[in-house]
Structure 1
Amino acid sequence: MRRETVHVRGLEFSCLVDGPEDAPLMLMLHGFPEYSGAWADMIGRLSDRWFCVAPDQRGYNLTEKPAETEAYATGKIGADAIAMIEHWRPGGKAHALIGHDWGAGAAYNAAMRAPEKIERLVIVNGVHPLPFQRELLKDGPQREASQYIRWLRRPDSHEKLAEDDCQGVIRMLERKMEMTWMTPEKKAAYKEAWSRPGALKAMVDWYRATPLVVPEMGEEADASILEKLDPAAMRIRMPHLLIWGLDDGALLPECREGLPDLCDDLEMVEIAGADHWIIHQKPEEVAGHIRRFLDR
């Protein structure tokens, strides 16, 4: 496993790469508040047959960090993934695009916009924006679980997260989750990534730039928000695997309601004894499902 820096869409991206360079491309997108190293266990289990690329996404760790909040709009992040595929496979495709958490948002966006560049889509505890927005408009458990997004959108949230050696970020990671996977070595690597100049602001800017509407609890939601979303434009046309850790306290099972209606070919796998950090808690099981799906 090695690091390579690539120039894509005017930015330098640092990527973890491993596997035969002529093998089918597997692009792996991390979420908040992680970095490319989140995929190390998966890469170690999949790079025998795939050329695995896990970038530090824009604003994260060693990748460049534009200053403007608008630079982190979901469409731009999705476009990064499409351009990354073109960089590694000019004129070709990714055999698999994999996303977790916010990486799922980037992966879904790329899959909607450029289905011709992606053969298979794998999402691990991540949400399609249409069912997710629908749940957030309900004054129910998912809206309550997502109130942290409102806090992250505050102008000073990244400064609060950085206080006391990034303890605010650690608390967010641990919120309703099982954390035995976070060894002292991993924690040190994560803190190093968060402590890079401008990193925490850039990471939080993903939340500030998204059009996702998260009302306060008890607030009446504007139902017309859903009318502005076009299901046809948000359809997933390639074979799609959703892997779901059942104990996730941030993304609840109701976020998946209606997803089959938005997909041409969807398979859902539920894994007990795992939560939002499933790729760390159950790497062997997750990798096994990915292999089986790609061999289908």
Structure 2
Amino acid sequence: MEAGFVPLNGRPFYVRRWGDPSLPKLLLLHGFPEFGGAWGDLAHRLAANYHCIAPDQRGFGQSWAPPEVSDYTTSALVGDMATLVGNEALTVVGHDWGAAVAYGLAMFQPQLVERLIIMNGVHPVPFQRALATGGAQTSASQYIHFLRSDDAEEKLAADGFAKLLSLFSAHMDMSWLAGETRVAYLREWARDGRLRGMLNWYRASPLRVALPGVPLTDIPQFRVEKLQVHCPHLLIWGKDDTALLPEATHGLEDFAADLTRIEIQGADHWLHHQKPREVAQAIHGWVTARS
């Protein structure tokens, strides 16, 4: 693994790379509350066949972390990664919030995305619809209200990030977050301004979350034709996820005509940590078939 800072639009971003640069490229986009190093176990299994590129995204890890919520719009986050990609189309892999950026690239910078792979992440329209129903996904996503609150940083950081660790692991297998891995996460969360930057992704998002049993009735109509994924799309899903439920992907085929779904047994939201071998096999098998 090689790592270092790359200037993107004049701002420093920290990027990790695995594999020979001459190999086909995979852009790996992490979610909350992770950083580019979260891809290590998976990237090691893919590096024989791919050049894996894993940035710390804006607000995370060692990358630029502006304090203002207005600096975390989807267009800004997508713009960071579009600049990193340059002019050569590649395969984009996104997990959790990284999926939002990956979908943004595929929808609004389609010339940069040859293939799209999402791992327990959601397209904005099916997700917003699920959040608005007042049903199971609404209940599972109530934590978003807390993460958007003004005092969320202070509460999450207290007692050695006890509440963030608790939120991170709610009802899911976190046995992988131990030893040196745990130390690395605590180090990244403790960097100056990073916890605020991470939470600003939630604060800047236009997604609206209903209250349980109280559906939102004024969600706008979405222009389906403007939010299409035209490249081949793979959705890899850890079946035991309690944060993102299957209903959050209902109707995805309306936005991705060339969609393949693969389920990973015995995994939840953190499937790339729990089942890196199975996830790597799914990625390589699908990419090879679509090459």
With normalisation by structure 2, the TM-score equals: 0.97
Cα contact 1:246–1:272 (8 A) shared by 2: yes
Cα contact 1:133–1:226 (8 A) shared by 2: no
Aligned equivalents of 2:49, 2:5: Cα separation in 1: 22
Q: Name the amino acid aligned to 1:288.
A: Q
Deviations 1:268-292 (A, max 9, x none): 0011211000000000000000001
Partner SS state of residue 295, structure 1: helix
Match of 2:111 in 1: 116
Q: How many residues align?
A: 289
Match of 1:294 in 2: 287
Cα contact 1:98–1:104 (8 A) shared by 2: yes
Cα contact 2:133–2:214 (8 A) shared by 1: no
Match of 1:226 in 2: 220
User: Mapping of 1:1-296 within 5 angstroms?
Assistant: 1-86=1-86, 91-94=87-90, 96-223=91-218, 225-227=219-221, 229-296=222-289
Q: Structure 2 unaligned segments of length 5 or more: list them.
A: none
With normalisation by structure 1, the TM-score equals: 0.95
Task: Give 1:250 deviation, angstroms.
Answer: 0.1
Partner SS state of residue 15, structure 2: strand
Task: Give 1:233 deviation, angstroms.
Answer: 1.0
Partner SS state of residue 226, structure 1: coil
Deviations 1:180-219 (A, max 9, x none): 1112211100000000000100000000000000122233
The alignment yields a C-alpha RMSD, in angstroms, of 1.0
Cα contact 1:244–1:271 (8 A) shared by 2: yes
Task: Give 1:43 deviation, angstroms.
Answer: 1.0
Q: Name the amino acid aligned to 1:185.
A: E
Task: Give 1:9 deviation, angstroms.
Answer: 2.3
Aligned equivalents of 1:35, 1:115: Cα separation in 2: 25
Task: Give 1:83 deviation, angstroms.
Answer: 1.3
Aligned equivalents of 2:147, 2:178: Cα separation in 1: 26
Aligned equivalents of 2:69, 2:227: Cα separation in 1: 24
Percent sequence identity is: 43
Deviations 1:204-248 (A, max 9, x none): 00000000001222334133x231x21111110000000000000
Aligned equivalents of 1:75, 1:217: Cα separation in 2: 30
Cα contact 2:135–2:213 (8 A) shared by 1: no
Deviations 1:146-168 (A, max 9, x none): 00001100011011111001111
Aligned equivalents of 1:98, 1:220: Cα separation in 2: 32
Q: Structure 1 unaligned segments of length 5 or more: list them.
A: none
